[in-house]
Structure 1
Amino acid sequence: MDPLFLATPKVGTFQGEQSLTNASGFFFARDEHLFLATSRHVFIDEGSEHRPDRIEITLHLDLQDLTRCTGFSMPLYADGTALWRQGQDSGGDIDVAVLEIDREALPKEAVLFAFTPAHIVHDFDAVPVDATLFIAGFPLGFHDEVHQLPVLRRAAIASPFGIRFQGQGTFLTDGRAHRGISGAPVVMRDPVPATGVLPWRLLGVHSSRLDMGNRDQALDESLGLNCAWYADILLTLTEPPAAGLASPA
């Protein structure tokens, strides 16, 4: 099985014991640190008053028997202070956040794969306009419930890769997306696998569907376009706090 499926856990948000929403995310490792990366609005969305106090991800415990899984809960606050890291640019808040995972607290049997800085694309010319992209996540919470695995949605690049769409740190993809896929990695197959056991290039973090506010609901179909933040924001968010520009929420 492709390790991409074990790099992208399902994310559930909770207020105490009350389940709130489902989302997507992925593991990102830097040096000895392990993070869960997802959309900022998964952790907090002021507009909709979405304010969970913890999340739960699904971990696999056996590479041969994928039905062996467990939930792993992580708090979002400690003494009233947010534990995740987020960032800003000239356009305001960036809809990407990371939450460090305590490796010592993980089950010893946990099986997971993680993206690293080596997976992030820096050579924009390496991503041709006709590249086939994939978004690995949990649309509307849908997934293989027996093996707790995400689904892959095929997508295409819809704006020039390397150019900030509308002046923000985003690019567009063309593909079907639904609620629940927020925070999913946007990837393409590594043509010359130099990224180890996870042979994918990490392009971005899926944020949301994009539509026209003045679209005629009766006459015009949805644009079918999606917004993704460039993955290099993860390099800022995972720097040591004293050295990086990332800030707690």
Structure 2
Amino acid sequence: MKNLQDATERICELKGSLVALDSVVPALLRQLDEDQRRQARASVESLAEAARTVMLHADISDVVLGAFERDIGRYLGLLADRHAPDASQPIDDGLPLTTVRIRTWRESAMQSEASGFFFSRDSHLFIVTSRHVLLDEATGHFPDRIEIDLHTDTRDLTQVLVWSIPLYADGRSLWREATDTGGAVDVAVIELATDRLPPAVVIRSFTPAHLQARGEQVAMGDPLTIVGFPLGFHDTVHHLPVARSASIASAYGVRFQAKGYFLTDARTHRGSSGAPVLRHRTQAAADGLPWQLLGVHSTRMDMRTRDAVHDESLGLNCAWYADVLLAVTQPD
């Protein structure tokens, strides 16, 4: 028991040391002039690549590698050219700031990575993701908290705050989920305490208005965009997602196989679960987000009878109809 207590105290000491280092290093880097910053950046990139090569051939967990890539990306961002384009200018139409990378944790061990997005209703703000990201009994996935990155400076998108969100309180789950006539729905939302968020946090969110068609017809074959973090891949300097092109692959408005989802045709990967499935609007949007939120990406679809040797994967995916958000975000 004493060894466990000693180990716990040591971990706490290391966390405190890292927090202190996280305060000192950015302060030092900001004192460098432009030439020194460029030289330091080149040196860090070279040494980081050497360290990455060593770690990839060593018996090191994915959690260590993930933390390494995250912090290297952040420090390289701090060393970026100060004369780069002003990040305070509009980023596309704000779409990249709607979506966040989710890391699930159980105690001190990272479990998985996924995607999620902000959805606001009245004065409430939610993170939307797939239900299996927060709990998946079939695979023994039982995280107790998630982490997301929140941008804190509109002029410098390298500045983020890691925000931890508990999944349970007093033994009860804090997220909301839904069922319908077809059974369980693989969508979950968890409300953020907006009064606890940093005052300068930079968030763009979808609203119930983005669920409306506004008189525009949606049909099979229409082009779509899926914004997320496939395999955790993203802009590690600015902490922004990437987009994959897709199309509607089943009769839209019809519940595929009597379930509450439709199919998309897109190349997706692990880490995309919970990503918003969007259709670009032809009508101008007063809110600056000219997108219709059609669905929540869940998982890839395939045929169990497919010959893995002779037949390629179908390349189809399941997207739950986004109108389920009206049910799970309804005020208590």
Would the TM-score normalized by the shorter structure come out above 0.5? yes
Larger radius of gyration: 2
| 8 Å Cα contact 1:171/1:230 also seen in 2 | yes
Q: 2:268 aligns with which of 177, 181, 188?
A: 177
More helix by share: 2
Q: Residues 163 and 125 of structure 1: is their aligned pair in 2 closer, same or farther, counting only changes over 3 Å?
A: farther
Which residue of 2 is the match for residue 11 of structure 1?
Answer: 102
Question: Secondary structure at 1:6's aligned position in 2?
Answer: helix
Aligned length: 241
Please list every run of 5 or more consecutive structure 2 residues that lacks an aligned counterpart in the other structure: 1-90
- Mapped contact 2:254–2:262 kept (Cα < 8 A): yes
The equivalent residue for 1:246 is none
Name the SS of the counterpart of 1:25 in structure 2.
strand
Does residue 169 of structure 2 align to residue 91 of structure 1? no
- Aligned 1:43-82 pairs, distance under 5 A: 43-82=134-173
Indicate if the aligned counterparts of 2:263 and 2:316 stay in contact, CA closer than 8 A.
Answer: yes
Which string of whole-angstrom CA distances, capped at 9 and with x for unpartnered residues, describes residues 52-89 of structure 1?
00000111111221111111010000000000000001
**1:124 CA drift (Å):** 8.6
2:211 aligns with one of 98, 108, 120: 120
**Which runs of no fewer than 5 residues in structure 1 stay unpaired?**
242-249
Q: CA deviation at 1:123?
A: 6.7
* Residue correspondence of structure 1 range 1-249 to structure 2 within 5 A: 1-2=91-92, 3-122=94-213, 126-194=217-285, 196-241=287-332
Partner amino acid for 2:241?
P
CA distance in 2, matches of 1:66, 1:230: 31
Shift of 1:194: 3.2
Q: Sequence identity, in percent?
A: 55
Q: Secondary structure at the match of 1:221?
A: coil
SS at match of 1:227: strand
Partner letter of residue 163 of structure 1? V
Tell me how far 1:195 sits from its aligned partner: 5.2
2: distance between equivalents of 1:45 and 1:129?
Answer: 31
Q: Which residue identity is paired with 1:59?
A: L
Kindly state the Cα deviation for residue 132 of structure 1 after the two structures are TM-superposed. Answer: 1.4
Note the alpha carbon deviations across 1:68-119, whole angstroms, 9 max, x for none: 1111010000000000000001221100000000001111111010000000
Task: Check whether the contact 1:119–1:195 (CA below 8 A) recurs between aligned residues.
Answer: no
Letter in structure 2 aligned against 1:68: Q
Q: In structure 2, what residue type is equivalent to 1:224? A: G
Q: Which moved more, 1:74-83 or 1:103-112?
A: 103-112
Contact 1:124/1:162 (CA < 8 Å) preserved in 2?
no
Q: Comparing both chains, which one has the higher relative contact order based on Cα–Cα distances under 8 Å and sequence gaps of 6 or more?
A: 1
Give the partner amino acid of 2:217.
A
What RMSD over aligned residues (CA atoms) do the two structures have, in Å?
1.2
Runs of 4+ in 1 over 3 A off after TM superposition: 121-125
